[in-house]
Amino acid sequence: MNYRLLILSILFYFNLQSQNKIFAKEIVKILTSENYAGRGYVKNGHNKAADYISEKFKEFGLNGFDSDYKQKFKIHVNTFGGNAKVTIDGRLINAGIDFIVNPSCPAVSGKFDLIWFDPKSIGNRKKMTKFNSRDFKNSFLVIDKTEITDSIQLAFVNGMMSNQFNAKGIVVVQNKKFTWGISQYQNSHPIIYIKQNLISHTDKTIELDINATLKKDEITQNVLGYIRGTETPDSFIVFSAHYDHIGMLGTNAIFPGANDNASGTSMIIDLARHYSLPENKPKFSILFIAFGAEEVGLLGSKFYVKNPYFPLKKIILQINTDIMGTGDDGITMVNAVKNHNVYETFQKINNKKNYVKKIKRRGKAANSDHHPFDEKGVKAIFLYTMGGSKAYHDVHDTGENLTLSKYNEVFQLITDFITEYR
């Protein structure tokens, strides 16, 4: 082999090895960009993400059941698209980094007194009676969770979140990492979580301008496209991943959801690209579903199993991917226990090819979009990667922070599995 040919073949090899990851990186970069606003229900983020996926399905020539590949449905969702400002004794603190609000937080604005609750008074009848007799309606109760010393205190302060003291709101002081979420309703009182180093017993006031809007009957969608099988087009493999995330808190804090779940979304788009190539056309049909509103409570997948485009019993297997961005410690398969044959086949391939460190077997879990299918008796597994980044439901789950360290290996593991399975 001459020198030039050698270089060319090395380049070609390199290209084959890395093209999936490069492809995924680009999709993750786009879906986590500012324009998509955390793929929640502010700034049209969820709809922009659905449009992008639908464009990709079109590009790969996928068949659709509906116009634009979209299956629409309605949800109720609490949103924070306006201001989200918190000031402690005149010091402005940052949304997403210094504080978060309870996902069910109602709108609140004004200046209020801070009243610290002493966890040591729990169990002391005299102290509690005295505390109880106070009027908190223009005050925020401050509960410092870092001062909690036992499980009785913890249970008591957790109970206080229901606001039995009728305070204007509650401040929870904590050290642990913020993990945000998204809610279908609003509570009657605000709960604000603040980092411990930003508030102290000497602080007297909290000033808030939190704009919360409960959107009712917001229209969102699943995005579905399929490739017709060459031999048994009536049988389907389903690849699924949710594309939505939890949006924004105020006008600055974006929750980009790179690992959760731009990574899994890129995986199914990548699989759609792969199986649409003439040389990879499958014997059975393959359906790709990018679910909406997973973060709001698996709403997209729950809607789909109630409104399927063809009988669910025609699904041979669903492979759901959510959190595909690392893999340094291997992957986990949910529903591996009941779908033993699927797990064994994955294991056999991985033992031979050494794609990932281990494939952890896990039982049933209602933690992603495989679950509503499993509940309907569809053979469904859920794969997620382990190790690496700890960013999850926070502002640090960014595209730049995501390594996709075992993305290629997991992609190959899945496609090898499909070859073996058919």
**Would you give the binding string for Zn ion spanning residues 120-159, x where CB under 5 A is met?**
----------------------------------------
For the four alpha carbons of 152, 154, 157 and 162, in that order, the dihedral sign comes to: negative
Binding piece for Zn ion, criterion CB under 5 A, among 104-112, 255-263, 343-351, 361-369: 255-263
Binding piece for Zn ion, criterion CB under 5 A, among 107-115, 258-266, 329-337, 403-411: 258-266
Residues 6+ apart with CB under 8 A from 5: none
How far apart (Å, rounded) are the C-alpha atoms in residues 142 and 310?
Answer: 53
SS3 177: coil
**Would you give the binding string for Zn ion spanning residues 176-195, x where CB under 5 A is met?**
--------------------
For the four alpha carbons of 223, 227, 228 and 234, in that order, the dihedral sign comes to: negative
The smaller minimum CB distance to Zn ion, of residues 167 and 323, is found at: 323
Residues 6+ apart with CB under 8 A from 2: none
The smaller minimum CB distance to Zn ion, of residues 285 and 321, is found at: 321
Total residues interacting with Zn ion, rule: CB under 5 A = 1
Binding piece for Zn ion, criterion CB under 5 A, among 155-163, 165-173, 259-267, 371-379: 259-267
- Per CB under 5 A, 369 contacts Zn ion: no
Q: From 224, 229, 218, select the one nearest 241 (Cα to Cα).
A: 224
Binding piece for Zn ion, criterion CB under 5 A, among 37-45, 137-145, 252-260, 402-410: 252-260
CB of 241 to Zn ion, least distance (A): 11
CB of 179 to Zn ion, least distance (A): 9
Q: From 277, 331, 310, select the one nearest 378 (Cα to Cα).
A: 310
**190: its two tokens:** 């605000």
CB of 152 to Zn ion, least distance (A): 32
Dmax over CA atoms of the chain, in Å, equals 91
Binding piece for Zn ion, criterion CB under 5 A, among 59-67, 218-226, 260-268, 333-341: 260-268
The smaller minimum CB distance to Zn ion, of residues 210 and 391, is found at: 391
Binding piece for Zn ion, criterion CB under 5 A, among 21-29, 71-79, 220-228, 257-265: 257-265
The smaller minimum CB distance to Zn ion, of residues 41 and 112, is found at: 41
- Give φ, ψ of 309 to 5 degrees: -80, -15
CB of 260 to Zn ion, least distance (A): 4
The smaller minimum CB distance to Zn ion, of residues 98 and 260, is found at: 260
Beta bridge mates, 43: none
Q: From 171, 354, 360, 385, select the one nearest 264 (Cα to Cα).
A: 385
Near Zn ion by CB under 5 A: residue from 144, 260, 394, 416: 260
CB of 9 to Zn ion, least distance (A): 42
How far apart (Å, rounded) are the C-alpha atoms in residues 280 and 227?
Answer: 11
CB of 137 to Zn ion, least distance (A): 36
The smaller minimum CB distance to Zn ion, of residues 20 and 79, is found at: 79
The smaller minimum CB distance to Zn ion, of residues 260 and 270, is found at: 260
The smaller minimum CB distance to Zn ion, of residues 260 and 374, is found at: 260
Comparing every residue's Cβ against Zn ion, the nearest one is 260
The smaller minimum CB distance to Zn ion, of residues 260 and 369, is found at: 260
Residues 6+ apart with CB under 8 A from 351: none
Q: Exposed, middle or buried, 181 (CB in 10 Å: 0-12/13-18/19+)?
A: middle
**278: its two tokens:** 């003439």
The smaller minimum CB distance to Zn ion, of residues 180 and 303, is found at: 180
Q: From 100, 108, 132, 75, select the one nearest 298 (Cα to Cα).
A: 75
Dihedral Cα 182, 317, 311, 286, nearest 10 deg: 90
**339: its two tokens:** 């779908």
What is the binding site for Zn ion (CB under 5 A)? 260
